[in-house]
Structure 1
């Protein structure tokens, strides 16, 4: 199966006597070449579920598979699932140049030194950055540029799936729109699966093919994004839509540009 699959995953924090279950029996599929949104309030468990995909946490029930294989059986050092976080500055080494940060994520032995340099340039162009930026440090870049670098670093590992955890929420609206268009373009060009975590339903509607809604650690509704947002079946989904009030500028613009 060409997908990242969460199969009845439950995640618990703490010891046996004081454990708190954060995610309960949640199932979700992220096919290659599709963008699947995961929405819910803060504390709903969506980021915790995503962390199970990159083994930052381990389920105590259920399993996570990629391409039909349990992720725990994947070769050590392989990174077929990569996570991009909300704050790119904290995920980039401030003492390493942009090029060094991206090159570090390239699989060892994949290229010689010259080839690694060319690959870094290719990845920067892929995320629509000038290859000459390979020599600058993260603090010399804008927030939008740093997030593109974080995405290039993720793609350097040649992943099948990227987990985007609120990766556009800290960006200005115009920059956010350009990033969303880039994610959609990369999805198509690379047959990339994307698990897109967000609290912004307008953004999810614009960028995602499907969406799952999480409440209290449980996925309460999922389906094609237009179906779920235009005709929500669960009271919690309807409450989220009512709380959103109106759609953001991102989806009210035709073809948002940076």
Structure 2
């Protein structure tokens, strides 16, 4: 895995500045949580990283070099809130995972890799022939994770991947994210509007509001000593936490 770095990134749509001079680092082998309310710019930042949003200024670097935006193999893989965004309903889940693999492997090798990846995300390889519609939302999100990993990415970007799931299913997917990070040494930008979710999975956290990063640091540091009033507001909304009154 690798280090992903945003340097002074700005994204504009007409007169609207969606991301405003953002600098953020995802260290190698770490999960960085990016938290903020809807419209804060966090998903736009993610989309810019994978070439889906126009960059007006600034740079996105992977191990110190510009992220390549051409070629079949992409070093950054994104997992979306809705797994249907990356899963073709006409294809079996095994075919969807295999489609994302680098070229060159034999049919038997691809089949074995599909089985390995499905097992990695705790899905029965015997279900490889199933269509996405036959799976639950949580299972589809596991397939989306397997598909992202099939591309052998250097960094994974997870954009609100649990927000559409039932609370009981959210916990299982979050546990899987932690397990994958520990087993594979994943570098991941984990985006959420829920600070409790970010606290559970991330080693570092950045708080975004109105297109800007207002606070960032280790998760333990930011949550124990929040400096920005917006961070304290987010923390106060998490059940079972005590936030300090604004200074």
TM-score w.r.t. structure 2 length?
A: 0.94
What SS class does the counterpart of residue 39 from structure 2 fall into? coil
Matched, 1:228 2:238: no
Q: Distance in 2 between matches of 1:39 and 1:180?
A: 15
Q: Distance in 2 between matches of 1:31 and 1:122?
A: 27
Q: CA separation in 2, counterparts of 1:26 and 1:90?
A: 26
Give the aligned partner of residue 30 of structure 2: 34
The equivalent residue for 2:137 is: 143
Aligned mate of 1:120, from 85, 99, 114: 114
Contact 1:229/1:241, CA 8 A, preserved across alignment: yes
- How far apart are the structure 1 equivalents of 2:112 and 2:180? 19
Instruction: State the Cα distance separating 1:100 from its structure 2 match.
Output: 0.5
2-side partners of 1:191 and 1:90: how far apart? 26
1:245 Cα deviation from its structure 2 partner: 4.5
Aligned counterpart, 1:49: 45
Q: What's the counterpart of residue 245 of structure 2?
A: none
Residue 7 of structure 2: aligned partner: 7
- The number of aligned residues is 241
Distance in 2, matches of 1:209 and 1:95, equals 38
The answer to whether the 8 A contact 2:2-2:187 is kept is no
- For residue 72 of structure 2, what is the aligned residue in structure 1? 77
| Aligned 8 A contact 1:202 1:247 in 2 | no
Residue aligned with 2:25, SS = strand
Are 2:40 and 1:23 aligned? no
Structure 2 distance, partners of 1:155, 1:77, is: 15
| Cα distance, 1:44 vs structure 2 | 0.5
SS at match of 1:227: helix
SS of aligned partner of 1:64: strand
What value does the CA root-mean-square deviation take over the aligned residues? 1.5
- Establish whether residue 183 from structure 1 lines up as the match of residue 141 from structure 2: no
Contact 2:196/2:238, CA 8 A, preserved across alignment = no
**Large movers: runs of 4+ above 2 Å:** none
Task: Choose 50-59 or 92-101, whichever is displaced more.
Answer: 50-59
Instruction: Give, in whole Å, the separation in 2 of the partners of 1:44 and 1:159.
Output: 26
CA shift for structure 1 position 75: 5.7
**CA deviation vs aligned residue, 1:219-251 (integer Å, no higher than 9, x gap):** 010001121112100111112222x14159xxx
1:2 CA drift (Å): 3.7
Residue 244 of structure 2 is matched in structure 1 by: none
Unaligned runs of 5+ in 1: 249-258
Q: 1:169 to 1:180 in 2, by over 3 A?
A: same
Q: Return the alpha-carbon distance in structure 2 between the equivalents of residues 182 and 23 of structure 1.
A: 30
| Contact 1:2 1:68 (8 Å CA) reproduced | no
- Residues in 1 aligned to 2:84 and 2:71: alpha-carbon distance in whole angstroms: 27
Contact in 1 for aligned 2:59/2:66 (Cα 8 Å): yes
- Alpha-carbon contact 1:96-1:137 (below 8 Å) kept: yes
